[in-house]
């Protein structure tokens, strides 16, 4: 069915078993104090090699201390790194996979006190701090450093390397006019701005060997003013082929670009395919595409239709290491899906924390879970609540051999997440609910709907353990005039339950994630919406990437945002408040939507005294939090018994 995607391909002397590449990602864990790789990183990759992908790239391989992008990434700039890399390669080579390293110098996008770059121009976003322009001898030395790093990779046994010439890192900084204003041989003309890249390729070929496969990741478009554009990529691509690159991997975006390097769920799937397709028309070497290609059918169509020769998967392979095996065996419905929230992966990493995944709490724990023991005996588990926490817990319990039953007091599963998935652009949140539903069907776990937890149910089922995953509900604040106002008073849950619950002019009280997606839903319906946020920042619980796209959509809908709000009083048809200390009065509104705090629903906790079962509270029933913590806590509960 996916014959094109799972057909082999030859890249120079490498035979790759299928057309799937696990792209390089700066995961920011799995190295020691010297940035030498450890078992944590090795087992992270081994799990994904076992999952059936054709090629794998280690991300963030630093070629020089001045360009270490993040503190906990592998370094390739000293020979002392080779022994640990060899151990990693030997482990991964147990599987039929081509294993490589992406070599990187972060330039002005490095998390260092002093950064170097082609020109002394700071990055437009994310990374702050002084930037020093490189001297000519330093530039030449950095090209040599790329070559030496490639030599170390080859000595360690890696099959190939990829040069990171995209996403606003050092090579891309030389290429782009907005980051390179040099007037010497490395700046100005196209030939001068591309000089460093070709010197790097020459150094790699000279040091690691002409027969060592060298791929290049390059932007099709920087998506920023005066940046590198597709016409530049089409111009350089044949030159790269002539220089001997093994493949061209086409991506897009830099820090601060209008289309982000790691786009969120608001961006169409396959968002960068068109650029790879264009590059493929001007070269004969394999071209790799990337950009939210979640669906195996879409990936297969890319190959079938000749738009690219390979498909790179990043977050999808983080979310489910078995993605390739499941797709190949016709079990795509069982793939645990990336939902494009960007929270556990890029957001955590840019905060200099270890990378993780909202839907896959196992990320970074693979080396520990390999020693996990099965339960000594099967137990009876009753899960109250079919929201994401309850579903995740039930799945884990069932996988570990326990007898599981789910009770849901409503008529549908999914809880508040199912409502959030109806917000414009956030439909992919429903993908994880579909995954849980398919998994529970596979595992034979039944859900009893319209059945709240009761003493009668407890007596009938007689469980050993009860998991309270009963969720949360909006909390009503006490604000002067709120309950005396003539405006309609509803909650965000009301809005998502009944799209017409709100009037035409709406005040949303709350600027967190729920408040903003509520405002977006209303604004998208053509309603006039203002948001009052009593905090300093909007939607702090969202990733910056996801929040960026949502904020842009709110602008397009004409939603007005106020922050640092202190409400003086609600009136009959409006509100009086200060925003950042400035007084504001709004009148002529017909609806107030409460979308601030949530309070746990724990009504069933009193039943613990009536049962021999041990009760456990998880998810929002414990403390209202983000989905990532709820899923992680649920799966941990499932492993604890």
Active site residues: 169
Residue 170 falls in which region: left (phi positive, over 0), alpha (psi -120 to 50) or beta: alpha
Q: What is the DSSP string of 216-228?
A: EEEEEE--STT--
- Burial tier of 137 (Cβ tally within 10 Å: 0-12, 13-18, 19+): exposed
Strand partners, 164: 217
Alpha carbons 241 and 283: distance in angstroms, whole number? 7
What is the per-residue burial (b if ≥16 Cβ within 10 Å, else e) of 176-191? Answer: bbbbbebeeebbeeee
Alpha-carbon distance of 606 to 618, in angstroms, equals: 16
- Judge contact between 539 and 548, C-beta under 8 A: no
H helices of 157-194, where?
170-175, 190-193
**Tokens 């009086």 belong to residue:** 576
Q: What is the DSSP string of 584-613?
A: EEEES--EEEE-S-EEE--GGGGGGGG-SS
For 577, phi then psi, to 5°, come to -155, 170
Locus of tokens 């996988």: 399
End-to-end Cα spacing for the chain:
40
How far is Cα 494 from Cα 522, in angstroms, rounded to an integer? 12
Residue 432 and residue 316: Cα distance in Å, rounded? 12
- Listed residue (589, 618, 624) closest to 475, CA to CA: 624
Q: Are 73 and 28 a contacting pair, CB within 8 Å?
A: yes
Instruction: Find the farthest-apart pair of alpha carbons in the chain and give their distance in angstroms, rounded.
Output: 82
Contact 218, 250 (CB under 8 A): yes
Three-state DSSP state, 467 = strand
Q: How far is CA 183 from CA 118, 136, 186, 223, in A?
A: 11, 12, 7, 24
The token pair at 451 is 């059945």
Q: DSSP labels for 423-464?
A: STT-TTHHHHHHHHHHHHHHHT-EEETT----HHHHHHH--S
Please report, for residues 57, 66, 289, 303, 522, the alpha-carbon distance to residue 314 in angstroms, rounded to integers and kept in the order given: 10, 26, 11, 18, 33
Full 3-state SS string of 350-378:
HCCCCCCCCCCCCCCCHHHHCCCCCCCCC
HSE (side-chain half, CA atoms, 13 Å) at 366: 24
β-bridge partners, 382: 405, 466
């Amino acid at each position: 069915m996916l014959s094109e995607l799972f057909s082999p391909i030859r890249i120079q002397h490498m035979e790759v078993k299928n057309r799937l590449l696990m792209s390089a990602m700066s995961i920011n864990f799995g190295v020691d104090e010297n940035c030498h790789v450890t078992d944590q990183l090795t087992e992270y990759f081994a799990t994904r090699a076992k999952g059936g992908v054709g090629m794998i790239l280690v991300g963030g391989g630093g070629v020089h201390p001045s360009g270490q992008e993040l503190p906990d990434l592998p370094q390739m700039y000293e020979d002392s790194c080779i022994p640990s890399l060899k151990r990693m390669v030997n482990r991964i080579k147990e599987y039929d996979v081509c294993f490589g390293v992406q070599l990187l110098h972060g330039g002005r996008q490095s998390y260092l006190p002093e950064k170097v770059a082609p020109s002394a121009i700071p990055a437009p976003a994310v990374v702050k701090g002084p930037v020093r322009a490189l001297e000519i001898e330093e530039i030449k030395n950095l090209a040599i450093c790329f070559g030496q790093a490639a030599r170390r990779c080859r000595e360690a046994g890696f099959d190939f390397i990829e040069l990171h010439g995209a996403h606003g890192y050092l090579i891309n900084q030389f290429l782009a006019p907005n980051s390179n204003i040099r007037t010497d041989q490395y700046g100005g003309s196209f030939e001068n701005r591309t000089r460093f890249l070709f010197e790097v390729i020459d150094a790699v070929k000279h040091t690691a060997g002409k027969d060592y496969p060298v791929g290049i990741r390059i932007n099709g478009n920087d998506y920023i003013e005066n940046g590198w554009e597709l016409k530049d990529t089409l111009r350089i691509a044949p030159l790269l082929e002539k220089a001997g690159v093994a493949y061209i991997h086409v991506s897009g975006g830099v820090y601060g670009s209008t289309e982000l390097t790691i786009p969120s769920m608001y961006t169409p799937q396959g968002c960068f395919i068109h650029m790879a397709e264009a590059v493929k028309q001007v070269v004969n070497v394999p071209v790799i595409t990337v950009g939210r290609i979640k669906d195996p059918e879409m990936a297969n169509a890319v190959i079938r239709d000749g738009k690219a020769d390979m498909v790179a998967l990043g977050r999808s392979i983080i979310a489910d290491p078995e993605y390739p095996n499941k797709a190949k065996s016709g079990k795509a419905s069982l793939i645990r899906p990336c939902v494009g929230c960007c929270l556990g992966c890029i957001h955590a990493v840019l905060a200099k924390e270890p990378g993780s995944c909202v839907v896959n709490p196992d990320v970074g724990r693979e080396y520990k879970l390999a020693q996990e023991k099965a339960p000594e005996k099967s137990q009876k588990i009753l899960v109250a609540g079919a929201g994401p926490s309850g579903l995740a817990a039930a799945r884990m319990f069932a996988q570990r051999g326990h007898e599981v039953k789910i009770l849901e007091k409503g008529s549908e599963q999914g809880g508040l997440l199912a409502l959030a998935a109806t917000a414009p652009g956030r439909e992919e949140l429903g993908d994880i609910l579909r995954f849980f539903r398919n998994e529970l069907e596979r595992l034979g776990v039944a859900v009893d709907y319209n059945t709240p937890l009761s003493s009668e149910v407890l007596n009938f089922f007689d469980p050993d353990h009860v998991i309270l995953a009963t969720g949360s509900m909006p909390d009503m604040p006490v604000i002067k005039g709120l309950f005396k106002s003539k405006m309609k008073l509803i909650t965000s849950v009301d809005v998502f339950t009944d799209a017409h619950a709100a009037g035409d002019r709406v005040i949303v009280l709350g600027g967190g994630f729920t408040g903003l997606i509520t405002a977006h839903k209303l604004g998208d319906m053509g309603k006039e919406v203002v948001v009052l946020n009593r905090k300093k920042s909007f939607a702090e619980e969202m990733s910056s990437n996801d929040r960026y796209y949502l904020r842009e959509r709110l602008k397009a809908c004409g939603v007005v945002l106020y922050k640092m709000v202190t409400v003086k009083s609600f009136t009959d048809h409006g509100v009086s408040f200060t925003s950042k200390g400035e007084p504001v009065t709004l009148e002529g509104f017909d609806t107030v939507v409460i979308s601030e705090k949530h309070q746990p629903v724990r009504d069933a906790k009193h039943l613990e005294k009536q049962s021999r079962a041990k009760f456990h509270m998880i998810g929002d029933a414990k403390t209202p939090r983000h989905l990532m913590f709820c899923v992680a806590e649920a799966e941990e509960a499932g492993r604890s018994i």
